[in-house]
Amino acid sequence: MYLGLTVLAMAGMYFLEKRASRGFLRSAS
């Protein structure tokens, strides 16, 4: 259950970073 949520969160962050392309998520992590 938690593993699926973790994968979803990682995929979502990756998608947002690719879409924003500003690097604010990359600097946050």
The pLDDT, as a whole number, for residue 11 is: 92
**Measured between alpha carbons, how far is 15 from 11 in angstroms, rounded to an integer?**
6
Quick one: how far is CA 7 from the chain centroid? 9
pTM for this entry: 0.49
pLDDT digits (tens, 9 = 90+) for 1-29: 789 999 999 999 888 878 776 656 566 55
